[in-house]
């Protein structure tokens, strides 16, 4: 799909880029099934052996969920802690929105998750990490790592 993505520029020696969706980040924060894998990705990201990114739409879902559950002060604190790990938030550009819409139309996956799949389309080195099994129709399109069910 796109070749002009900010995450298309791999860092030297980097083996993979992981696109984390809201469900993956929330599993990590809530210490639910699969949180160890997300912790490992974030640890490796901190060590520079991989890159971890989040689509702006998924990032917004995380912020909304935290604010609803715990209030805006807690939400701001956790968002700040996650950003301190060096997570890159990838904007939802007009071009990405159109490509994501086409993925949703063709595959029947949720629109916000189509953004994560679209990011994974940038390179065969990219892997979309999710606990949302509604994206199964995209398995043939990109690498997807599904976290275990609860």
The reported pLDDT for the residue numbered 104 is: 97
Q: What is the pTM of this model?
A: 0.87
pLDDT tens digits in sequence order for the chain, 150 residues long = 333 333 333 333 344 999 999 999 999 999 999 999 999 999 999 999 999 999 999 999 999 999 999 999 999 999 999 999 999 999 999 999 999 999 999 999 999 999 999 999 999 999 999 999 999 999 989 999 999 998
Cβ proximity of 47 and 54 under 8 Å: no
Q: Tell me which residue of 19, 17, 24 sits closest to 148, measured CA to CA.
A: 24
3-class DSSP state of 108: coil
Which own/partner pairs from 56-61 qualify as long-range (CB within 8 Å, at least 24 positions apart)? 56/89, 56/90, 56/91, 56/92, 57/92, 57/112, 57/115, 58/20, 58/21, 58/22, 58/25, 58/112, 58/115, 58/116, 59/22, 59/89, 61/22, 61/112
Cβ proximity of 22 and 89 under 8 Å: no
- Render pLDDT for 31-70 as a digit per residue (tens, 0 to 9): 999 999 999 999 999 999 999 999 999 999 999 999 999 9
């Amino acid at each position: 799909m796109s070749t002009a993505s900010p995450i298309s520029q791999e860092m030297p020696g980097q083996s993979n880029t992981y696109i984390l969706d809201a469900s993956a980040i929330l599993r990590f924060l809530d210490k639910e099934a699969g949180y160890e894998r997300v912790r490992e990705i974030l640890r490796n990201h901190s060590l520079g052996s991989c890159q971890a990114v989040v689509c702006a739409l998924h990032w917004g879902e995380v912020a909304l969920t935290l604010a609803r559950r715990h209030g805006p002060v807690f939400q701001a604190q956790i968002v700040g802690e996650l950003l301190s790990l060096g997570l890159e938030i990838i904007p939802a550009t007009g071009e990405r929105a159109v490509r994501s819409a086409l993925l949703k139309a063709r595959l029947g996956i949720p629109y916000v998750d189509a953004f994560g799949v679209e990011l994974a389309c940038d390179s065969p080195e990219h892997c979309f990490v999710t606990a949302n099994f509604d994206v199964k129709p995209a398995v043939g399109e990109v690498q997807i790592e599904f976290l275990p069910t609860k």
